[in-house]
Homo-oligomer: A and B are copies of this chain.
Amino acid sequence: MKTDKILLDHGSGGKISHHLISQLVLPHFDNPILAPLNDGAVFDLQGKKFAFSTDSYVVDPIFFPGGDIGSLAVNGTVNDLAMCGAKPLYLSVGFIIEEGFSMADFQTILASMQFAARAAGVLIVTGDTKVVQRKAADKIFINTSGLGVVSDHIHISGKNARPGDQILLSGFIADHGITILTQREGLTLESPLCSDTAPLNHLVQEMTAACGNIHTLRDPTRGGVATTLNEIAVQSGTGIKLYEAAIPIRNEVRGACELLGLDPLYIANEGKLLACVSPEDAAGLLQVVRANEFGCNAAIIGEVTADSPGQVCMETAIGGSRIVDMLAGEPLPRIC
């Protein structure tokens, strides 16, 4: 898609974002550490392996059931590091604040970040605060970057998925995105929803301790499970088969999606992970994940195949089959 302007779609995490990154950003910054395009960069330094990741948070509204922009910013970067198989250690935080923003709200966000950092076991070690004039930013944006260490024996990457791998999903999909959307639009559901924002690093630590050979880990944030699985299929040159009936989803989320005409497979999660593992490891790993508070609704939702490389195909609940493409447009701007 050619355009001379940046569009909301360019920030969707979907197809148009990928086009922007691969056609515009990568050719400028190209280097072997950036090229794999995992959730963070992994590199050797002084004989040890490290992971380094960054994300800016522009979610609207900044406070929502289950969290706020502060906890989201901490958990998001913790999770990006965890998806590299790293133990997250240190975070930086950069605030861009609109003049006139409430000091009390800022305090609430700071407290929430510190609470989230404690829960994840990371330290916020360096920071920066910029203030811009009214209308030059919308309330508050937060960047967090993070540093973690990766054990020598861990080799987790989107490109490592291989035919036969089982695909594990750690719980219900689309909770975060649908929560933000209903808050923003002022929709009232019968059973109120909560964002799933959570730190997944302890879960990942339990997983890597139990299974020394996890091939791929990825958290399906912007663009949802569908987009993340498409990324894995492209990176690894494999096909992916999904079983619709196996995908955990809350009834109220399914209902909200039907009402709004949204496909929950494309809706952002902020406390879920996808893992690709050999079939012989899958059942054991599923047990481990289910034993963790953030994985109790985990399920095997599909498998990696040798045919249709780069494509995700879903066996539907009614026995049909359909291609699940990468997110194309931007159904939900400023979801994270």
Chain A interface (Cβ within 8 Å of chain B)? 3-12, 17, 20-21, 24-25, 28-29, 31, 33-34, 40-41, 43, 45-46, 48, 50, 52-58, 60, 89-90, 92-104, 106-107, 110-111, 113-114, 117, 123-133, 135-138, 141, 143, 145, 147, 149, 333-334
Contact = CB atoms under 8 A, between A and B. Distances in A.
Tell me how many chains of this kind the complex includes: 2
B56 A126 contact: no
Contact of A8 (B4, B33, B126, B131): B131
A143 B93 CA distance: 10
A25 B127 contact: yes
A138 B138 contact: no
Nearest to A109: B28
A131 B333 contact: yes
18 contacts: A3-B103, A6-B103, A11-B97, A12-B131, A25-B110, A28-B114, A29-B114, A31-B124, A34-B124, A34-B125, A52-B126, A53-B126, A54-B126, A132-B334, A136-B137, A137-B138, A143-B143, A145-B145
A98 B136 CA distance: 10
A6 B131 contact: yes
A101 B56 contact: no
Contacts of A101: 5-6
Question: Top 3 closest A-B pairs, CB basis?
Answer: A11-B131, A145-B145, A54-B92
Given A7-B131, A55-B94, 12 more contacts: A4-B102, A20-B129, A24-B106, A28-B114, A33-B126, A45-B149, A46-B149, A48-B48, A52-B92, A94-B145, A132-B333, A135-B135
B128 A54 contact: yes
Contacts of A107: 24
Nearest to A21: B129
Contacts of A136: 58, 60, 137-138, 334
A132 B56 CA distance: 11
B53 A92 contact: yes
A43 to B, nearest CB: 7
A237 B224 CA distance: 53
A31 B131 contact: no
A12 B57 CA distance: 23
Given A136-B138, A333-B133, A43 B106 contact: no
